């Protein structure tokens, strides 16, 4: 049995990263691999995915599990970037370096590389990736960056497209998903709230908190803004069963990449809020409307585009995104 260690932003109960982990663990178990996940919450990760888990900053145990493994898998998501923090980039690069030091097969799994603002960050990432066994990235920008560095990489779609999610019957509900981020401001929140109240006052409004540590307080703030404009509107904050709620929505206005992805996959008429280049790219690829962080757009035009979206076109776009496991599986079968 091949032994795999997975490193990523796991155990923080972030919707997108946990969805990636669910897809990856299922695939590894389907091919009879032994899985250990580096996590911030080992009990949660072990219980949720029925895997072994090691505290991500317990360096002694991290070294031991990597040393005794056959393959280290880093990803997916946007781990190697310094927009959030250079500390996290150093951590994930260090884990990759450990795998290389112990002569393990190292897979970069469906990552978005960057943004990398610091010269030091670029040097670190370039010098760990060039020694990895297999590098897969989820967007053209990452692929182009690595090509310029003469690093051989393969373009794949986001693995969450492989998640078994079905479109439920639409119930006229409008979903809003926001996350705490440095560019979120009151101007954006008030313009979005006015838009929601103006166009959807007769609908049920669900504000989705996908990671309570980053989303919940902002979601409650947005709920209060809506109620200050129209106290009679039916609005609530949702914390649980997020995929089920998204799949039943009529419309979704969202910041998070994987909230948008799941909505498109379920044929929900979707509008992106552009806090990150990965969101912009998805919106352009799926041909859905997008709102900038300064909300300068004509909201009548946004509403017109949103309501005229074709559900079948969204479903067909999602169906075309097939994750290619072939090289990944070949490497695993040869790693033992």
What pLDDT does 76 receive? 85
Confidence class for position 168, pLDDT limits 50, 70, 90: confident
Would residue 191 count as lying in a domain? yes
Residue 186 has pLDDT above 80, yes or no: yes
Q: Do 215 and 312 fall within a single domain?
A: yes
Q: Give the Cβ contact number of residue 160 at 10 Å.
A: 25
Residue 109 has pLDDT above 90, yes or no: yes
Q: Among 44-53, 251-260, 278-287, 302-311, which is the least confidently predicted range?
A: 278-287
Nearest one of 71, 303, 107, 53 to 203, comparing CA atoms? 303
Q: Among 45-49, 123-127, 178-182, which is the least confidently predicted range?
A: 178-182
Q: Do 197 and 244 fall within a single domain?
A: yes
Mean pLDDT of 14-30: 95
Residue 32 has pLDDT above 70, yes or no: yes
What pLDDT does 276 receive? 87
What pLDDT does 83 receive? 84
Mean pLDDT of 282-304: 97
Q: Do 180 and 316 fall within a single domain?
A: yes
Would residue 166 count as lying in a domain? no
Cβ-based burial of 305 (10 A; exposed 0-12, middle 13-18, buried ≥19): middle
pTM of this structure? 0.90
Confidence class for position 277, pLDDT limits 50, 70, 90: confident
Residue 221 has pLDDT above 90, yes or no: yes
Identify the CATH number of the domain in which residue 275 sits: 3.40.50.2000
Helix/strand/coil (H/E/C) assignment for every residue in the chain: CCEEEEECCCCCCCHHHHHHHHHHHHHHHHCCCEEEEEECCHHHHHHHHCCEEEECCCHHHHHHHHHCCCEEEEEEECCCCCCCCHHHHHHHHHHHHHHHHCCCEEEEEEECCCCCCCHHHHHHHHHHHCCCCEEEECCHHHHHHHHHCCCCCEECCCHHHHCCCCCCCCCCCEEEECCCCCCCCHHHHHHHHHHHHHHHCCCCEEEECCCHHHHHHHHHHHHHHHHHHCCCCCEEEECCCHHHHHHCCCEEEECCHHHHHHHHHCCCEEEEEECCHHHHHHHHHHCCCEEECCCCCCHHHHHHHHHCCCHHHHHHHHHHCCCCCHHHHHHHHHHC
Mean pLDDT of 291-295: 97
Confidence class for position 336, pLDDT limits 50, 70, 90: low
Mean pLDDT of 222-251: 96
Q: Do 40 and 94 fall within a single domain?
A: yes
Q: Do 200 and 251 fall within a single domain?
A: yes
Domain residue limits at 266: 174-320
Q: C-alpha distances in angstroms, 213 versus 42, 47, 208? A: 18, 20, 13
What pLDDT does 179 receive? 95
Q: Do 149 and 7 fall within a single domain?
A: yes
Would residue 167 count as lying in a domain? no
Q: Do 89 and 210 fall within a single domain?
A: no
Could you give the number of structural domains in the chain? 2
The residue among 281 and 34 whose pLDDT is bigger is 34
Would residue 104 count as lying in a domain? yes
Q: Do 213 and 128 fall within a single domain?
A: no
Mean pLDDT of 239-261: 95
**Helix 59-67 crosses helix 86-101 at what angle (to 10 degrees)?**
40
What pLDDT does 281 receive? 86
Please tell me the total number of residues recorded for the chain in this structure.
336
pLDDT tens string 226-238: 999 999 999 999 9
Q: Do 243 and 265 fall within a single domain?
A: yes
Q: Do 139 and 187 fall within a single domain?
A: no
What pLDDT does 85 receive? 84
Q: Do 110 and 238 fall within a single domain?
A: no
Average pLDDT, the chain: 95
Confidence class for position 334, pLDDT limits 50, 70, 90: confident
């Amino acid at each position: 049995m091949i032994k795999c260690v997975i490193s990523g932003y796991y155990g923080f109960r972030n919707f997108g990263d946990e969805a990636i982990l669910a897809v990856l663990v299922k695939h590894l178990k389907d091919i009879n691999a032994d899985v250990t996940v580096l996590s911030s919450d080992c009990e949660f990760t072990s219980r949720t995915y029925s895997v072994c888990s090691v505290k991500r900053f317990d360096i002694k145990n991290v070294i031991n599990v990597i040393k005794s493994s056959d393959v280290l898998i880093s990803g997916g998501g946007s781990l190697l970037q310094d927009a959030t923090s250079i500390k996290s980039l150093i951590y994930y690069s260090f884990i990759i370096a450990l795998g290389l030091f112990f002569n393990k097969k190292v897979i970069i799994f469906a990552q978005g590389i960057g943004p990398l603002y610091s010269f030091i960050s670029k040097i670190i990432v370039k010098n760990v990736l060039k020694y990895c066994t297999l590098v897969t990235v989820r967007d053209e920008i990452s692929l182009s960056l690595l090509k310029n560095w003469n690093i051989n990489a393969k373009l794949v779609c986001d693995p969450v497209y492989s998640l078994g999610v079905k479109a439920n019957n639409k119930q006229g509900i409008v979903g809003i998903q926001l996350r705490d981020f440095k560019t979120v401001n009151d101007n954006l929140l008030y313009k979005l709230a006015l838009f929601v109240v103006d166009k959807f006052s007769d609908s049920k409004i669900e504000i989705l908190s996908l990671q309570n540590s980053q989303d919940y307080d902002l979601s409650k703030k947005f709920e209060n803004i809506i109620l200050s404009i129209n106290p009679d509107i039916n609005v609530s904050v949702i914390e649980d069963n997020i995929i089920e709620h998204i799949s039943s929505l009529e419309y979704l206005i969202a910041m998070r990449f994987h909230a948008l992805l799941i909505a498109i996959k379920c044929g929900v008429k979707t509008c992106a809020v552009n806090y990150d280049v990965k969101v912009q790219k998805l919106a352009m690829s799926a041909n859905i409307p997008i709102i900038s962080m300064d909300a300068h757009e004509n909201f009548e035009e946004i509403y017109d585009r949103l309501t005229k979206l074709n559900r079948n076109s969204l479903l067909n776009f999602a169906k075309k995104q097939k994750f290619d496991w072939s090289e990944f599986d070949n490497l695993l079968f040869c790693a033992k």
